[in-house]
Chains A and B, each alone.
Chain A
Amino acid sequence: NAGVMQNPRHLVRRRGQEARLRCSPMKGHSHVYWYRQLPEEGLKFMVYLQKENIIDESGMPKERFSAEFPKEGPSILRIQQVVRGDSAAYFCASSPEEDGELFFGEGSRLTVL
């Protein structure tokens, strides 16, 4: 049973470009979470999704950021018109139920030049 798969592991973008980060949850997991981690800082919650639904996006900036978890395929975190402050590690986690432990991917590290 493969773990949470994130890709790309590393992504470099220039200011103004778009970044798309993908996350395939563990098999059987229908709850997906995205977190952002800045260097030397803790994990900050961004968004919680279930299949085809955004349950809570209270941690996600209102502009330029969007997330989806379609019926088929991975969850996508999309950042439009990236700025240098978007440089961070973005972690996806999944869980089989609403409560309990989270299973994290290895993260996608975005660098904005």
Chain B
Amino acid sequence: SQKIEQNSEALNIQEGKTATLTCNYTNYSPAYLQWYRQDPGRGPVFLLLIRENEKEKRKERLKVTFDTTLKQSLFHITASQPADSATYLCAHPRAAGNKLTFGGGTRVLVKP
């Protein structure tokens, strides 16, 4: 069965540093990966989508990479700010119809 794994340990990082989150998947080669941000008590919010033929995607201070050989995506938050503190979710489609499978999420805490 498909699995998508994220580091379950919280990531504590100093303001201004770069946070790097890992998303690994097995048994399936998705056409794309998506990253979402979820704040406590709120619904997830879409951040970035990266396709299998794209090695890297950027949006403001966010950068995502997609390595289909390693079956891994890395999510970077550069020049991190306390407002970046949240849980970040990685997801990929299981099959046609965009039924996304989500990883367990990684909580990021940026300390001032």
A interface vs B, CB < 8 Å? Answer: 4, 31, 33, 35, 41-45, 48, 55-56, 59, 91, 93, 95, 98-107
**Residues of chain B within 8 A of A4, CB atoms compared:** 43
Cβ–Cβ contact B105 & A42, under 8 A: yes
* B42 at interface by CB-CB < 8 Å: yes
Cβ–Cβ contact A98 & B98, under 8 A: yes
**Residues of chain B within 8 A of A98, CB atoms compared:** 96-98
How would residues 79 to 109 of chain B score, 1 for a CB under 8 Å from any chain A CB and 0 otherwise?
Answer: 0000000000100011011111111110000
Cβ–Cβ contact B101 & A48, under 8 A: no
Cβ–Cβ contact B49 & A100, under 8 A: yes
B interface vs A, CB < 8 Å? Answer: 34, 36, 41-46, 49, 89, 93-94, 96-105
Task: Across the interface, name the chain B residue whose C-beta is closest to A59.
Answer: B99
CB distance from A108 to the nearest CB of B (A): 10
Bound CA span A99–B101, Å: 13
> Given A91-B44, A104-B44 in contact, is the A99-B98 Cβ separation under 8 Å?
yes
> Given A101-B46, A104-B43, A106-B42 in contact, is the A43-B96 Cβ separation under 8 Å?
no
Cβ–Cβ contact B99 & A56, under 8 A: yes
Known: A95-B98, A106-B42. 18 other contacts (CB 8 A): A31-B97, A33-B99, A42-B102, A42-B105, A43-B102, A45-B94, A48-B98, A55-B97, A56-B99, A99-B98, A100-B49, A100-B98, A102-B34, A102-B44, A103-B46, A104-B44, A107-B41, A107-B43
CB distance from B98 to the nearest CB of A (A): 5
**Residues of chain B within 8 A of A59, CB atoms compared:** 99
**Residues of chain B within 8 A of A35, CB atoms compared:** 102
CB distance from A59 to the nearest CB of B (A): 8
